């Protein structure tokens, strides 16, 4: 009698576990299907998100960095504004400095580790790193030849901040950008920056783009302590 009860209990537990596991798998399959549907929809709409700064690395799996006069001094970040992801734990965080979601990317000129450097740049790879042993390092290139525009959102702390847009392809022999394109000065309002891509087709290979960036140092006209916020970088076809 005891043995039979034990067996019945065993059967009940086993059935319970089996049913729950099966339900879990169904949920997973349906979630995966939904994710695939989202990707297809984005491609059809002609929009690819490069970086919304809500996670790390960027939305294409590429590294994000700041160099020269934008390089932060991590020892001072509690009291001095610094170039990096602008997040809710950043001192003096204000949601007005974010265009979408909870985070943006802040550029601060000349208050970090290399205040005397005349150049300063923000740069993003357009895919994961594939080889770190060569210079320039290899990344998974992105084919943007089917897109009309690169779009991002920009807000200046005081207005009048100067920016230059930078691009580098997979054929570059060093880290110098092949495209340097002057942008309109920043304003204190969030503004949508729309950069038509085809104008660069003779200067670099749009089918194998490796890196995009922003120059924000003294060499493009910024003083020490000038600040801009960037958000929602994307390729699209409709401005």
CA 10 to chain centre: 52
CB of 183 to Ca ion, least distance (A): 19
* Residue 85 binds Ca ion, judged by CB under 5 A: no
Out of 57, 100, 136, 225, name the contact with Ca ion by CB under 5 A. 100
Which backbone phi and psi does 140 adopt, to 5 degrees?
Answer: -70, 110
SS3 assignment, position 37: helix
CB of 86 to Ca ion, least distance (A): 9
State the distance between the two ends of the chain, measured CA to CA, in whole angstroms.
Answer: 76
Out of 53, 86, 200, 216, name the contact with Ca ion by CB under 5 A. 53
* Residue 229 binds Ca ion, judged by CB under 5 A: no
CB of 232 to Ca ion, least distance (A): 6
Task: Give just the sign of the alpha carbon dihedral 92, 96, 102, 42.
Answer: negative
CB of 82 to Ca ion, least distance (A): 18
* Residue 231 binds Ca ion, judged by CB under 5 A: yes
CB of 51 to Ca ion, least distance (A): 8
CB of 18 to Ca ion, least distance (A): 43
* Residue 161 binds Ca ion, judged by CB under 5 A: no
| Inter-residue contact 138 to 154 (CB < 8 Å) | no
Binding segment for Ca ion among 32-40, 48-56, 119-127, 153-161 (CB under 5 A)?
A: 48-56
Size of the site for Ca ion (CB under 5 A): 6
Non-local (6+) Cβ contacts of 118 within 8 A are 68, 69, 217, 218, 219
Binding segment for Ca ion among 25-33, 53-61, 63-71, 85-93 (CB under 5 A)?
A: 53-61
DSSP track, 85-132: EE-TTSTT--GGG-SSSS-EEEEE-SSSS-TT-S-EEEEEESS-EEES
Angstrom distance (rounded) from CA 50 to CA 69: 24
* Residue 234 binds Ca ion, judged by CB under 5 A: no
Q: Quickly count: other Cβ atoms within 10 Å of residue 135's Cβ.
A: 9
SS3 assignment, position 200: helix
**Is the Cβ of residue 52 or residue 226 nearer to Ca ion in the bound state?**
52
* Residue 72 binds Ca ion, judged by CB under 5 A: no
Angstrom distance (rounded) from CA 217 to CA 22: 57
**Is the Cβ of residue 99 or residue 218 nearer to Ca ion in the bound state?**
99
Out of 91, 101, 159, 238, name the contact with Ca ion by CB under 5 A. 101
SS3 assignment, position 176: coil
User: What residues make contact with Ca ion under the rule CB under 5 A?
Assistant: 52-53, 100-101, 103, 231
């Amino acid at each position: 009698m005891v043995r039979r009860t034990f067996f019945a209990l065993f059967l009940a537990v086993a059935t319970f576990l089996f049913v729950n596991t099966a339900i879990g798998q169904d949920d997973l399959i349906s979630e995966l299907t939904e994710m695939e549907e989202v990707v297809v929809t984005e491609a059809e709409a002609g929009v690819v998100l490069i970086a919304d700064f809500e996670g790390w690395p960027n939305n294409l799996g590429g590294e994000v960095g700041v160099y020269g006069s934008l390089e932060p001094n991590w020892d001072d970040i509690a009291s001095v504004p610094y170039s990096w992801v602008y997040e809710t734990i950043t001192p003096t965080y204000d949601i007005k400095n974010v265009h979408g979601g909870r985070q943006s990317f802040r550029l601060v000129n000349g208050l970090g580790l290399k205040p005397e450097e005349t150049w300063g740049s923000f740069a993003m790879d357009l895919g994961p790193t594939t080889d770190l042993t060569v210079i320039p390092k290899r990344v998974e290139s992105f084919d943007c030849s089917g897109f009309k525009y690169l779009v991002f959102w920009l807000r200046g702390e005081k207005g009048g901040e100067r920016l230059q847009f930078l691009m580098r392809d997979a054929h570059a022999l060093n880290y110098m950008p092949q495209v340097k394109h002057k942008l309109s000065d920043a304003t204190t309002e969030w503004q949508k920056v729309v950069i038509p891509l085809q104008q660069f087709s003779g200067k670099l290979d749009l089918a194998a783009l490796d890196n995009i960036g922003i120059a924000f140092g003294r060499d493009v006209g910024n003083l020490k302590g000038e600040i801009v916020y960037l958000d929602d970088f994307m390729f699209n076809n409709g401005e």
